[in-house]
């Protein structure tokens, strides 16, 4: 299954991709608008186009949901980016699995209130991650969650206590989707 996972951010958008068994990941860092309204819109457009390009040929996009704890201008900016990405995927008919941050944290660490260092430590241990970017880590955990759901990772990959809430997610298609091909 071809999966793109995205940790949305206006400054460091993390992504991870699984394509024919190969995992790649990185961060998109658009230029800061420095108070220029046109530059702020250009940044949204740049992120939209980068994500749509990465989503070409994907069976599924996994998107981290809104962080409702954000405050001030950050919540408005993240809402703008989230709306732009969701609309872009809708227009291109790309299936999206949205994962709330607390569900992602439970999957990664077993605790829905985990902080970034805990997610990073879990990524070092369970994902063999060797980098240092928290946005890449979030995207890799989103990718792992989808791969686990669609049986691309063994059941022993996730401790039982880390499965809470996964059944509440709105998966865009069942495990028997044609994109999965033959299954063991």
3-177 CATH fold? Nucleotidyltransferase; domain 5 (3.30.420)
Q: Quote the CA–CA distance of 180 and 170 in Å, as a whole number.
A: 18
Residues of the chain with pLDDT under 70: 68-74, 176-184
Q: Can you state the angle between helices 37-55 and 73-91, rounded to 10 degrees?
A: 40
Q: Quote the CA–CA distance of 6 and 4 in Å, as a whole number.
A: 7
The neighbour count for residue 122, using CB atoms within 10 Å, is 20
Instruction: Say what the pLDDT of residue 151 is.
Output: 86
Instruction: Say what the pLDDT of residue 178 is.
Output: 52
Output the CA–CA distances (angstroms, integers) from residue 103 to 91, 106, 150, in the order listed.
27, 5, 17
Domain locations in the chain as residue ranges:
3-177
Q: Quote the CA–CA distance of 174 and 161 in Å, as a whole number.
A: 23
DSSP state of 92: T
Determine which helix (DSSP H) or strand (DSSP E) holds 84, and give its type and residue range: helix 73-91
């Amino acid at each position: 299954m071809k999966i793109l996972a995205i940790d949305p951010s206006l400054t460091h958008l993390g992504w991870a991709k699984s394509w024919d068994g190969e995992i790649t990941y990185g961060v998109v860092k658009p230029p800061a608008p420095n108070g220029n309204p046109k530059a702020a819109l250009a940044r949204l457009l740049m992120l939209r186009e980068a994500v749509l390009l990465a989503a070409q040929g994907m069976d599924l996009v996994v998107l981290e949901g809104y962080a409702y704890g954000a405050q001030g201008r950050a919540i408005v900016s993240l809402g703008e980016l989230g709306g732009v990405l969701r609309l872009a995927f809708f227009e291109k008919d790309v299936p999206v699995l949205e994962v709330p941050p607390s569900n992602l944290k439970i999957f990664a660490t077993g605790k829905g209130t985990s902080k970034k260092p805990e997610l990073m430590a879990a990524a070092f241990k369970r994902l063999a991650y060797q980098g240092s970017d928290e946005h890449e880590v979030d995207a890799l955990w989103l990718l792992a969650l989808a791969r686990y759901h669609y049986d691309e990772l063994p059941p022993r990959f996730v401790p039982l206590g880390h499965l809470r809430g996964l059944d509440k997610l709105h998966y865009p298609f069942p495990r028997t989707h044609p994109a999965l091909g033959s299954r063991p």
